Amino acid sequence: MSDLQSIKNRFGIIGNAPALNHALHVAVQVSNTDLSVLISGESGVGKEVFSQIIHSLSPRKHNPFIAVNCGAIPEGTIDSELFGHEKGSFTGAVDARKGYFETVNGGTIFLDEIGEMPLGTQARLLRVLETGEFIRVGSSKVQKTDVRVIAATNRDLLQEAHKGRFREDLYYRLNSVPIRIPSLRDRQEDIPLLFRKFVIDFAERYNTTPVQLDEEARQMMMHYPWRGNVRELKNIAEQISVLAKSKQINALELKPFLPEAPLNHLPVLASNFPDNGSGFVSETTFANERDILYKFIFDLKKDVNEMKRMFVELVNNPSAVVATQGFQDVMNDNNNLMPHDASHAAYNLPAKTATAPAPVYLQQPETVATFDHHEEVDESLNIADMEKELIIKALKKHRSKRKDAALDLGISERTLYRKLKEYDIEDL
């Protein structure tokens, strides 16, 4: 435990949560090997710090270490950045250039946001991991390298692999040793310690007295969801240190510094968001917001198809009773944008009043168009098609303003830009 504490002091890690200690223990154990490591965790938990720990405690510590953000490099140049290129291999390649796998030979390369890496580059990376060989862009010469790869992601790469967005063979090759860093809300007992460290640092920087939280404010701080994890906590601590009117902060004074809730433009079911008693919403039972949207669309399509069927029956049998309380409830369900219960009546709904609703009869006009047959066209349920359609609608709605469209879709502007290229969507 003393060795673990010395590592925490050396790299500025604060906290004693069991999940955090376990992750550190695994990092220390694997550092003396050359195994590939996959570090997973939400954005802002400190994945790069763990990669530095592994490199600093490894036999490669005197050799180069480089951190590469795969999501920040354009798709057209990432191969050149990682593996290098020859002169004239593409427009702008006026000279030959060494890539990271060549310049960091003997050291460690940290690939952050590995889930953003294009599939073609993933195939090249897999060859490096398996054989230690790579080829520069525009060259046919095979070169050797001895580089240890540490990757990090805030995504579920196995789920991405099942969707065809990440190579499954590369996932298992990277995942030789998995390290899961807990989110800040999963180690609530460490939040007051981190906050105290940050406010002391800021007090020294701005030559002021450190702020302090009373018990009620401390509990509010511990139960806040912290979607941005340690990075968000540090920003809030700096805001309080600079803007707070007093140095003794209570819950009422703390509340303005904490955002009410993450922005969410999607329909949700209130029962899926239990309140934990702190006034903040806890994690949902859905994997992400897009799952909620897809579920809503599927239920809505089912209702629309059902109404189409009932309308066709009405045309073919105009003397039938078509507007019962059950039919009206189906319409109300769709107007309320909530999926209706399959056990509804008639749908067999129980009567809402003591008096049974009077049926509405439609009289057949003298000249009514009849249809000998009808054809039901099933709409595509392909997730990619639906995602593309939603992106197009958002762009039309916001007149091609990508920032507003991304905000409406609940994704980052960079992710929207990548989706536009992936689906070959031009600005509308």
Tell me the per-residue pLDDT of 377-400, one tens digit each, with 9 for 90 and over: 455 557 777 888 888 888 888 888
| 121 lies in the same domain as 195 | no
**Phi and psi of 340, rounded to 5°?**
-85, 160
| C-alpha to C-alpha distance for 237 and 422, rounded to whole angstroms | 39
| Residues in contact with 205: Cβ distance below 8 Å, sequence separation at least 6, in sequence order | none
Domain boundary among the residues 182, 200, 230 is at 182
| 20 lies in the same domain as 167 | yes
Q: Is residue 283 part of a domain?
A: no
**202 pLDDT more than 70:** yes
Q: Is residue 367 part of a domain?
A: no
| 17 lies in the same domain as 122 | yes
**288 pLDDT more than 60:** no
Q: How many domains are contained in the chain?
A: 3
- Dmax over CA atoms of the chain, in Å, equals 93
43 closest CA partner among 225, 223, 232: 232
* Average of per-residue pLDDT values in the chain: 81
Q: Is residue 390 part of a domain?
A: yes
Q: What angle do CA 338, 343, 348 make, to 5 degrees?
A: 110
- 10: number of Cβ within 10 Å: 11
Task: Tell me what the mean pLDDT of segment 24-51 comes to.
Answer: 95
- Contact status, residue 197 vs residue 9, Cβ threshold 8 Å: no
171 closest CA partner among 127, 124, 133, 126: 126
- Contact status, residue 265 vs residue 397, Cβ threshold 8 Å: no
Q: Is residue 310 part of a domain?
A: no
**219 pLDDT more than 80:** yes
| 73 lies in the same domain as 207 | no
Sign of CA dihedral 258, 264, 270, 271: negative
Task: Tell me what the mean pLDDT of segment 98-127 comes to.
Answer: 95
| 228 lies in the same domain as 109 | no
Tell me the per-residue pLDDT of 323-369, one tens digit each, with 9 for 90 and over: 444 445 544 555 444 444 444 444 344 444 444 445 444 444 444 44
- 6: number of Cβ within 10 Å: 10
The pLDDT confidence band at residue 316, using thresholds 50, 70 and 90, is confident
- Domain region containing 53: 2-182
Q: Is residue 318 part of a domain?
A: no
Task: Tell me what the mean pLDDT of segment 254-274 comes to.
Answer: 60
| 16 lies in the same domain as 164 | yes
| 87 lies in the same domain as 194 | no
Task: Give the pTM.
Answer: 0.60
| 123 lies in the same domain as 35 | yes
Q: Is residue 349 part of a domain?
A: no
Percent pLDDT > 70 in the chain is 75
| 147 lies in the same domain as 223 | no
Q: Is residue 374 part of a domain?
A: no
Question: What tokens does 374 get?
Answer: 């009808």
| C-alpha to C-alpha distance for 126 and 133, rounded to whole angstroms | 10
